[in-house]
Amino acid sequence: MPYINEVEKSLLAQPEARFPASPFYEGPEAPCRFEAEVYNCVVRGTIPEKIDGTYYRCMPDALWAPLYQDDVFINGDGAIGAVRIKNGHADFKQKFVRTEKFLIERAARQSVFGKYRNRYSDDPRVKHQVHSTANTHIIHYEKQLLALKEDSKPYALDPDTLDTKGIINPNLDYMYQSSDLELLGLYDFHGQYSAPTFTAHPKVDPSSGDLITMGYEAKGDNTTDVVYYLFDKDGRKLEECWFKAPYVGMMHDMAATDKWIVFILPPLQTTTVEAMEKGAKHFAWAEDKPLTFGILPRRNPKPEDIKWFRYKNAFYGHTGNAFDGADGCVYLDAPLTYCNKFWFFPPLGQDPLTTPSSKPPPGQVTSHYVRWKFDPNATQPFVEPQELINVDGEMPKVDDRYATKPYTNLFLAMADPDASQAPVGGMYNAIARCDINTGKVVHWAAGPDTALHEVAFIPRAADAPEGDGYLVTIANRRDKMLSSILVLDTDKISSGPIAIIELPFRLRNGIHGSWVPSEELLEDKDFCDMSGITEAIRREFEGTTVNVVLS
């Protein structure tokens, strides 16, 4: 009589859920595919009472087995995870963005969208306006969440229910339900944003609340057109400037200072539409292209004002921060990676698993945190970085109150510098607080079986010193096949989390997230289902503390 584990091996999953045998879809990264609500998570330790807000994050999570076996992790459907922390307690919720892809594939009960950002590889029955998976970043703007994917406009979500706005939820009290796009749940700044694409990394100027944003491939696939937009905190358009890039590539992140915008163009080049029609991936690493930067005045920019700079062939992931120098130059701080971190987009004709471009040049490290200097009056286009922090890390975060301004503190997800082996599955397993002026690093490593993600920073108080407060991040415990949310004190990074919010399930590797303080959230709607709880029941327990007797 065969035991269950033997039987299971002999029975294949149904085709629509038979995921490829690849590290993107197996074991600790197997798709989760669920929506969830956990009221009052189990918390170990103590969450400081002052922490009051919600941490939102995006997680690509393939709901359906991909049409193509070589599909990539970053093509997963956008699942929004949210943990609301109040009075030392934590409630968790997760919901998928109701993208057109989600709705059409749910109707089909299978995958019908094709490869990552290759609309020509979709099932011919797919009739859609928007290809977005809404899986990269989630920000709070104009009293709503915007779920971002750089190939499309943002999807707007309710910050309490995580419901996607628009036609799929016609009962929502939706302020701007006016245009066709808004009926689909998309946000286009009340008709002011005409480009089809919107970066996953807009910046917010903390002094004004201005939203600084851009789109690339802004006149369609493989177009060199780039558009810069500036909006005020209430959604009014202040600037719009269209210009052309020297080549088309994954302009994933950007940077801004008080006076300048920095556009970043790494050598992940876009393939031609003809190649995409024949099934090519959207991007291919170009060994002959330099990492390229463009600076444009933040106010009153003209297309001819864009000034381009270039370095060698190298990879740029994410911006730490940028600021104006007293010398009139623009400074940009970011990790610099000496190989193609997106190995799954190899040079044309090469195998993703063996391509040399995915390994750092012999004798060199993977990445460093560096500073770039752009002189608006420079007469030659070459730039060389200066090393600030000698650690291998990414997903840089600064205290948002210092974004676009000079700063000192940097938080990074990094590889444990003391570990003999690489972190599990190529993921980071440590987090660091760095002083960019002295190069000093204080870190905590979670151990060999845990993947740690990007952190979010929470100031200890509104007037706390820069970088003083708490960090939240998600830990994927591969030893337990469970995930938890960690809270660390920035004063005591190296002793590890002060609180661990336990989830009774496993999440996948996530991308980016945002901390939103409660006072910025518009309505005090229930986050978890509290229906059926009357005022009388509530009053019964008001102001009381339950003394749990443990014997």
Q: What dihedral do alpha carbons 65, 68, 71, 75 form, nearest 10°?
A: -60
The closest residue (CB) to ligand V55 is 74
Q: Considering beta carbons, is residue 85 or 291 the nearer one to ligand V55?
A: 291
Q: Which helix (H) or strand (E) holds 537?
A: helix 535-541
By CB under 6 A, tell whether 269 contacts ligand V55: no
**264, 255 Cβ separation under 8 angstroms:** yes
- Least Å distance, CB 206 to ligand V55, is 23
- Least Å distance, CB 172 to ligand V55, is 26
Residue with tokens 């810069």: 228
- Least Å distance, CB 317 to ligand V55, is 7
Lookup: tokens for 547: 């003394």
Grouping H, G, I as helix, E, B as strand and the rest as coil, residue 262 is strand
For the window 166-205, what string marks contact with ligand V55 as x by the rule CB under 6 A? ----------------------------------------
- Least Å distance, CB 113 to ligand V55, is 14
Q: Considering beta carbons, is residue 62 or 521 the nearer one to ligand V55?
A: 62
- Least Å distance, CB 387 to ligand V55, is 23
Rounded CA-CA distance 212/446 in Å is 35
In the window 213-252, what residues touch ligand V55 (CB under 6 A)? 252
Rounded CA-CA distance 155/451 in Å is 28
Q: Which helix (H) or strand (E) holds 242?
A: strand 237-244
Among 97, 280, 432, 511, binds ligand V55 (CB under 6 A): 511
Distances (CA, A) of 234 to 157, 190, 448: 17, 11, 45
- Least Å distance, CB 135 to ligand V55, is 5
In the window 31-90, what residues touch ligand V55 (CB under 6 A)? 60, 74
Lookup: tokens for 551: 């014997």
Q: Considering beta carbons, is residue 51 or 414 the nearer one to ligand V55?
A: 414
For the window 124-163, what string marks contact with ligand V55 as x by the rule CB under 6 A? -----------xx-------------x-------------
- Least Å distance, CB 32 to ligand V55, is 15
Instruction: Say which amino acid occupies 406.
Output: P
Q: Which helix (H) or strand (E) holds 102?
A: helix 100-108
* Length reported for the chain: 551
Q: Considering beta carbons, is residue 165 or 252 the nearer one to ligand V55?
A: 252
Q: Considering beta carbons, is residue 60 or 335 the nearer one to ligand V55?
A: 60
The alpha-carbon radius of gyration of the chain (Å, integer) is 23
Lookup: tokens for 544: 């009381």
Q: Which residues would be at the binding site for ligand V55 (CB under 6 A)?
A: 60, 74, 135-136, 150, 252, 511
